[in-house]
Chain A
Amino acid sequence: MSDKDFNTINSMQFDVLKEIGNIGAGNATTALSKLLNAKVDMKVPKIELLEFKDLSDVIGGAENVVVGILLTLDGDIDGMIMFILEQEPARAIVRLLMQGMCEVSDEFTELELSALQEIGNIIAGAYLSSLSTLTNMTITSSIPYLAIDMAGAILSVPAIEFGKISDKALLIETEFGDKDLEVNGYFVLIPTLDSYNAILTSLGM
């Protein structure tokens, strides 16, 4: 198998990854809409291949405090997927989901944190199912792990995984929402090098 990495990605491969991002984000929007029992719109996702030093700038700077939900992947693809939300929209989604059951405070309660993990699980699951369908590969994911911290620190986890195969990371930014709820979410998908090759091969690259 040839040695591909994100440094030498060509425009066709980039288009394929973009398309996976589009379909994944579409599925995620539908899932979120069902979960919240509300109409959720989505803008066309922006997909960027970024150098590490620029990665956290997209998410409001390295010190911007964000919610990160991480799942590790298993099956035909090894790696991890991360979903990142800003704190305010995270709070808005949780409130909508729990319909007034949460206390109004700056800190997330245990219950709210569990709800966020579940939201991350559903959104990441929707994304992964599109990848799975397109590639005809079986992908299983771990339970979701959650951290609320500086964007740079949260992103260091996927960046390190990318760091093994590349000097760049692939970030998918999706804007969900309608007039009541606007949510900027970011996906970072990190297959291991073998799995990355396997994905491209399965797509006929």
Chain B
Amino acid sequence: MGEMIKVGMADMNVCKPPDSITTLGLGSCVGIVLYDPGKKVSGMVHVMLPDSTKIKNNENIAKFADTGIDELVRRLLVLGATRSSLVAKIAGGAQMFAFSSNNDMLRVGERNVEATKEKLNSLRIPILAQDTGLNYGRTIEFNPESSELLIKSVGKPQKKI
């Protein structure tokens, strides 16, 4: 049995079988898994905000969809992934509180998902599966051996994408 490597909020990590990788309680943040299915090299980043260029305090590159994905790609290549083989699975980006107003502050889940998709698209990394939006939290676990992303939520059956 391998280890379960934890990724915190605004954090990233990479892994190879037999280890798996997880992030707990994703809300409006987005969990992005990038992996090379052939070499089974995989990584996860837990991003909080869409765009590092809009924020002054942007030293923590794992906090943003744009810089976080760039850095994750770099670390996967170091670990032996082939750039052109990389694929993605994404989850999260929920709207945790049901607001009637169009308060921009509260639509950040949706904007995180959009920014993630745009970034992956610009890097030509295909998204093979996603479980995003709605109004509940998610714990996700990625198994690099099977390439399955397990999603657990409160009061809902588990699913694999």
Contact = CB atoms under 8 A, between A and B. Distances in A.
A86 B81 CA distance: 43
A116 to B, nearest CB: 14
A53 interface: yes
B105 interface: yes
Given A53-B8, A53-B10, A166-B57, A157 B27 contact: yes
Given A61-B24, A63-B24, A63-B25, A149 B137 contact: yes
A147 B137 CA distance: 10
Interface in A151-187: 151-157, 159-161, 163-167
Interface in B6-63: 8-11, 24-29, 48-49, 55-57, 59-60, 63
Given A62-B25, A63-B139, A149-B154, A163 B96 contact: no
Given A61-B24, A150-B154, A160-B48, A145 B136 contact: no
Contacts of A142: 101
B48 A153 contact: no
Contacts, number: 113
Interface string A66-99: 0010101000000010000000000000000000
A80 B106 CA distance: 10
B103 to A, nearest CB: 6
Nearest to B56: A3
29 contacts: A7-B57, A53-B11, A54-B8, A56-B9, A61-B24, A63-B25, A65-B154, A70-B97, A72-B103, A72-B105, A80-B105, A145-B98, A146-B97, A149-B96, A149-B154, A152-B24, A152-B25, A153-B94, A154-B27, A154-B96, A154-B137, A156-B26, A156-B137, A157-B96, A160-B49, A161-B105, A166-B57, A167-B57, A167-B63
Interface of B: 8-11, 24-29, 48-49, 55-57, 59-60, 63, 94, 96-99, 101, 103, 105-106, 108, 135-139, 154
